[in-house]
Copies of this chain bind each other. A is one copy, B any other.
Amino acid sequence: MNWQPKNPDFRAFVERFFAAQPYLGLLGAELGRVEPGLAEYRVPLRAELTQQNGFLHGGVTGGVAEAVMGAAAATLVPASANLLGVSYTINLMSPVTGEALLARGQVIKPGRRLMICRADMFGLDAAGEERLCAIAQGTIAMVDGGQNAPTP
């Protein structure tokens, strides 16, 4: 896909969008690649994020998928927009192993109000090798109002 960003400072916009979400900080997420229609998050694996077998919890994998689809959508919106998740679906195919979860979100169709996205979720090993572990798709709504609106 070859989308045209509406905001020339889309990278700074995504950085602020990322930094403004405390939950991503709690997970220890890091922002990676940011391109028009694409964004990546990286979450180093650690014990606090696991389920009963020591694997990354599926709720983390799904939650990061939702978040990175929002970040991908954020690359294409005007600077005045806010983004809210509407729905998402994830198929958890195999345990996420290695050093980190790599989440790659992509906008498939940027609508006026709804952005349809996909995410690929990888286990990333020390050598930087990616192993696809989960796939997601979802809808992100673009709404008016700055992303940094005061907390209610």
**Interface residues in chain A, defined as those with a beta carbon under 8 Å from any beta carbon in chain B:** 17, 20-26, 47-55, 57-60, 62-67, 82, 84-94, 97, 108-109, 111, 113-114, 116, 118, 132, 135-139, 147-152
Contact = CB atoms under 8 A, between A and B. Distances in A.
Of A50, A66, A108, A147, most B-chain CB atoms within 10 Å: A66
B23 A51 contact: yes
Contacts of A116: 91, 93, 135
Nearest to A64: B59
Contact of A91 (B17, B55, B139): B139
Given A87-B87, A89-B87, A48 B62 contact: no
Nearest to A140: B58
A48 B26 contact: yes
30 contacts: A17-B52, A21-B50, A21-B57, A22-B49, A23-B57, A23-B59, A25-B48, A47-B151, A50-B151, A52-B82, A52-B147, A52-B148, A53-B149, A53-B152, A54-B149, A54-B150, A55-B152, A58-B63, A59-B62, A59-B65, A59-B66, A86-B91, A87-B90, A88-B90, A91-B108, A91-B116, A91-B138, A93-B111, A94-B109, A97-B152
